[in-house]
Amino acid sequence: MKVICSKDALIEGIGIVQKAVTTKTTLKILEGILLEASDRFKLTGNDLEIGIESYVDADIREQGNIVLNSKMFGDIVRRLPDSEVLIEVKQNFEVIIECENSHFEIKGLPASEYPALPPIKRENVFKIKQKIIRDMIKQTIFAVSIDENRRILTGSLIECADNEISIVSIDGFRLALRRYLISNDIQDFNVVIPGKTLNEIVKILQPVEDEVAIYISDNQILFEMQKCKVVSRLLEGEYLNYKSIIPQDFETKLRVGTKELLASIERASLITSEEKKYPVKFRIADDKLIISSNTDLGASRDEVRVDMYGNKMEIGFNPRYFIEALKVIEDENVDIFFTSSIGPCTIKPVEGSSFAYMILPVRIKGE
């Protein structure tokens, strides 16, 4: 194998596939990146849970393949001069890397030992703009559970019904839901994608109008972009019936400015070092929301003007759960529905149903 490519393009490709390279493995080959030169120059990372391929523009002088240690290869390329990079495979898996006056000779591993990415049937597919699916993942991923005892909740549900795409994350204390209506007809489906996969995909997707094609096949899912594709296992099992979890009735409703409420809760959380032990208190009355916190470090009080419907109420919440939800809401105002002083609340848009964030309350100390 012998290829020549720009340092910048190579760094970009390495950075993408390294997201699927593991350092916690007994298989040394999985610590490497597979380099393949045929009609295109392709880099691959694969930890057997998620596999990523990236295509790098290159002048291919000789076809071939090799596996190089991901960390060493990446560190070398990042420190090369900003110029063209030559990668050449010699006998006995010796690899030469040259750039201007820099010269490296490193040992590679045979590509035949590298696990191939699973084949995906290209049947059940839908296409969506990268910006839209990227935003939907970012607006829900923070609510994925990290509790391996409830493995199905360590992923996000992605489903389609009547051409509406929904992404749902639940961690047992809160729920995050985003919806988007697809303009073209697609087949209904529902799958659960590991949170780890989505965290890596959201770093690869760009805030652009270009589309990403998403293929679903048995227990695998494929995200395909122009210069990159990501294959991941799906989580097996039945996801929670989230529609039955979101309350339909309420005792108190507020309409409030999103940024104003966010800023107020962030101020209250400044002295809340232990969120679970010291929740923030909401006191709702007379078109006012008073947000207070009282900890061993001190106390705070903030007042926000709201449009209030229903009964007065006092209720406590983990401030982080509110902050993470409000930060990803772009709407100027939101409606918040409270079921009771001990029941969940739900944040929804003033119009439509594009999102919903449900948060369970925390018992306030002394009550």
Residue that finishes a domain, picked among 210, 243, 276: 243
Segment 196-222, tens digit of pLDDT: 999 999 999 999 999 999 999 888 999
Torsion (CA) 44, 46, 51, 55 in degrees, nearest 10: -10
Encoded tokens for 64: 């071939």
Short-list 104, 21, 9, CA closest to 67: 21
Asked if residue 255 and residue 190 are part of one domain, the reply reads no
pLDDT given for residue 295 in this prediction? 82
Identify whether 225 is part of a domain. yes
More confidently predicted of 252 and 122: 252
Residue that finishes a domain, picked among 228, 243, 258: 243
C-beta separation of 36 from 68 below 8 A: no
Neighbour tally for 103: CB within 10 Å: 10
Asked if residue 250 and residue 220 are part of one domain, the reply reads no
pLDDT given for residue 203 in this prediction? 93
- Which residues are bridge partners to 11 per DSSP? none
Segment 339-360, tens digit of pLDDT: 999 999 999 999 999 999 999 9
Identify whether 79 is part of a domain. yes
Average pLDDT for residues 6-30, to the nearest whole number?
A: 93
Distance CA 22, CA 49 (A): 10
Asked if residue 86 and residue 26 are part of one domain, the reply reads yes
Counting the structural domains of the chain, the total is: 3
Asked if residue 130 and residue 109 are part of one domain, the reply reads no
DSSP string covering 25-89, please? -S-GGGGEEEEEESSSEEEEEE-SSEEEEEEE--EEEE-EEEEEEHHHHHHHHHTS-SSEEEEEE
Identify whether 365 is part of a domain. no
Segment 43-60, tens digit of pLDDT: 999 999 999 999 999 999
Q: How confident is the model at residue 63 (pLDDT cuts 50, 70, 90)?
A: very high
Asked if residue 43 and residue 10 are part of one domain, the reply reads yes
Distance CA 243, CA 256 (A): 25
Report percent pLDDT > 90 for the chain: 84
Q: How confident is the model at residue 121 (pLDDT cuts 50, 70, 90)?
A: confident
H-helix or E-strand containing 217?
strand 211-217
Sheet with 280-285, side-by-side order of all strands? 298-305, 288-295, 280-285, 313-317
Average pLDDT for residues 92-97, to the nearest whole number?
A: 96
Identify whether 367 is part of a domain. no
Segment 266-278, tens digit of pLDDT: 999 888 766 556 7
pLDDT given for residue 367 in this prediction? 47
Identify whether 118 is part of a domain. no
* Mean per-residue pLDDT over the chain, rounded: 93
Residues spanned by the domain of 336: 246-359
Report percent pLDDT > 70 for the chain: 98
Identify whether 76 is part of a domain. yes
Answer whether residue 124 shows pLDDT above 90: no
Asked if residue 261 and residue 203 are part of one domain, the reply reads no
pTM: 0.91
Asked if residue 128 and residue 230 are part of one domain, the reply reads yes
∠ CA 367-285-258, nearest 5°, is 100
Asked if residue 307 and residue 219 are part of one domain, the reply reads no
Distance CA 57, CA 9 (A): 7
Asked if residue 224 and residue 189 are part of one domain, the reply reads yes
Asked if residue 180 and residue 98 are part of one domain, the reply reads no
C-beta separation of 197 from 166 below 8 A: no
Asked if residue 251 and residue 238 are part of one domain, the reply reads no
Segment 231-261, tens digit of pLDDT: 999 999 999 999 999 999 999 999 999 999 9
Q: Which residues contact 53 (CB under 8 A, 6 or more apart)?
A: 17, 42, 43, 44, 117, 228, 229, 230
pLDDT given for residue 184 in this prediction? 76
Identify whether 280 is part of a domain. yes
Q: How confident is the model at residue 365 (pLDDT cuts 50, 70, 90)?
A: low
pLDDT given for residue 168 in this prediction? 98
Average pLDDT for residues 86-92, to the nearest whole number?
A: 95
Identify whether 80 is part of a domain. yes
Distance CA 348, CA 333 (A): 9
Residue 264 backbone dihedrals phi, psi, to 5 degrees:
-65, -45
Asked if residue 99 and residue 17 are part of one domain, the reply reads yes
- Which domain CATH number covers 334? 3.10.150.10
Residue that finishes a domain, picked among 88, 113, 138: 113
Answer whether residue 159 shows pLDDT above 90: yes
